[in-house]
Amino acid sequence: IKKIGVMTSGGDSPGMNAAIRAVVRTCAYYEIECAGIYRGYEGMIEGDFIELNARSVKGIINKGGTFLKSARSKGFRTAEGRQEAYNQLKKANIDALVVIGGDGSFTGALVFNQEFGFPVMGIPGTIDNDIAGTSHTLGYDTALNNAVEVIDKIRDTASSHNRLFFIEVMGRDVGHIALNVGVGAGAEEILIPEEDLGLERLLESLKKSKESGKSSSIVIVAEGDKTGKNVFELKDYVNEHLPEYDVRVSVLGHMQRGGSPSCFDRVLASRMGVKAVESLLNGKSNLMVGLMNDKITVTPLEKAIKGQSKINKELIRVADIMST
């Protein structure tokens, strides 16, 4: 392998820049070339590449987002699109790929490898932490810190006015952000997709919490929670059943995945970048680098895509006890 292409694909996450930097610098360390591919698979099809050396990635370890930009590509889902992408990579003498993204991006990488035998390595970059084979995806830790910081501020208002806040955090299919942020910000209730506590139980808990002398309450709701109601409908529901509560709603949205990556994410990105390049240089392919028990590991991409990242049951119990 003489030249590695690196790209970011799917939703952006803080730490992606730090991972690109790590890939580029590791290539420089081993004296091989590195090219950045703009806008994920979309830029690959168009041959939108940039030569990167150790100095091209200065001053970006602390920047959120991804300077290579990210995109979702319809073209790469077609055989013609992937053929064109392959032609462009060959033309630029790129002979291996590091894909920083989520499970969709890894699926694309696997299909590409099966069709052309092109060596690929994945780095999990998504704030949702919904990928098996790693305890932490890149950007997850930053997203947790972003969310907790804002919820602390919302609590000031909640307690000054004796209000109940429903706060929606990201997590379409998994409740990792909601559960951790809920425990970290001291929420009274946490609604996650993995556990449907039911609306009755929510009302019960809110009633109890009022009786126990709590003057304000915070309920964290994952986007994909299973109550069947979004935060605004939850507010109406509680208004109807517990009129004594003054209810407000806050949807945190994209601020969760913006801003400077945490130190944890920067270190993780650096370790993952080194491992991804070294794996390619050792003849490996179709693997995702991950973090397991503070060790950098590799997992077959197939497993990473198909496996479910399990919710931490012990943490659910802690959350329960903490809301007493």
Ligand-binding annotation for 307, yes or no, is: no
Ligand-binding annotation for 11, yes or no, is: yes
Nearest to 36 by CA among 74, 81, 66, 77: 66
For ligand ATP, the binding residues in 133-152 under the rule CB under 6 A are none
Query: Using the rule CB under 6 A, is 182 a contact of ligand ATP?
Result: no
Q: How far is Cα of residue 279 from the mean position of the Cα atoms in its chain?
A: 23
Shortest Å distance, C-beta 12 to ligand ATP? 8
Query: Using the rule CB under 6 A, is 38 a contact of ligand ATP?
Result: no
Measured CA to CA, the distance from residue 233 to residue 228 in angstroms comes to: 9
**Computed over its alpha carbons, how large is the radius of gyration of the chain?**
22
Query: Using the rule CB under 6 A, is 8 a contact of ligand ATP?
Result: no
Q: List phi, psi (to 5°) of 119.
A: -65, 130
* Residue with the CB atom nearest ligand ATP in the bound state: 104
C-beta of 113 vs 230, nearer to ligand ATP: 113
Ligand-binding annotation for 148, yes or no, is: no
Count Cα neighbours of 140 within 13 Å in the Cβ-side half-sphere: 24
β-strand pairing of 3-8 with 96-101:
parallel
Torsion of CA 50, 53, 59, 63, to 10 degrees: 50
Q: How far is Cα of residue 306 from the mean position of the Cα atoms in its chain?
A: 16
Ligand-binding annotation for 285, yes or no, is: no
For ligand ATP, the binding residues in 70-109 under the rule CB under 6 A are 72-73, 76-77, 101-105, 107-108
Count Cα neighbours of 295 within 13 Å in the Cβ-side half-sphere: 4
Cβ 100 vs Cβ 6: under 8 Å: yes
Q: What x/- string results for residues 235 through 264 when contact with ligand ATP is judged by CB under 6 A?
A: ------------------------------
Nearest to 154 by CA among 227, 211, 71, 231: 231
Ligand-binding annotation for 265, yes or no, is: no
Q: Which of 128, 130, 225, 265 is catalytic?
A: 128
C-beta of 26 vs 126, nearer to ligand ATP: 126
In the list 111, 148, 281, 315, the residue contacting ligand ATP (rule: CB under 6 A) is: 111
Cβ 142 vs Cβ 262: under 8 Å: yes
Can 236 be counted among the known catalytic residues?
no
C-beta of 130 vs 188, nearer to ligand ATP: 130
Query: Using the rule CB under 6 A, is 64 a contact of ligand ATP?
Result: no
Ligand-binding annotation for 168, yes or no, is: no
Instruction: Kindly determine how many residues on this chain lie close enough to bind ligand ATP according to the rule CB under 6 A.
Output: 17
Measured CA to CA, the distance from residue 238 to residue 248 in angstroms comes to: 11
Query: Using the rule CB under 6 A, is 286 a contact of ligand ATP?
Result: no
Ligand-binding annotation for 55, yes or no, is: no
Shortest Å distance, C-beta 261 to ligand ATP? 16
Cβ 68 vs Cβ 56: under 8 Å: no
Q: Using alpha carbons only, what angle is made at residue 197 by residues 194 and 201, rounded to the nearest 5 degrees?
A: 165
DSSP strand E in 176-225: where?
A: 189-191, 217-222
Residues within the interface to ligand ATP (CB under 6 A) = 9-11, 41, 72-73, 76-77, 101-105, 107-108, 111, 126
Annotated binding site: 11, 21-25, 72-73, 102-105, 126-128, 155, 163, 170-172, 186-188, 214-216, 223, 248, 254-257
Query: Would you name the residues annotated as active-site residues?
Result: 128
Annotated binding site for ATP: 11, 72-73, 102-105
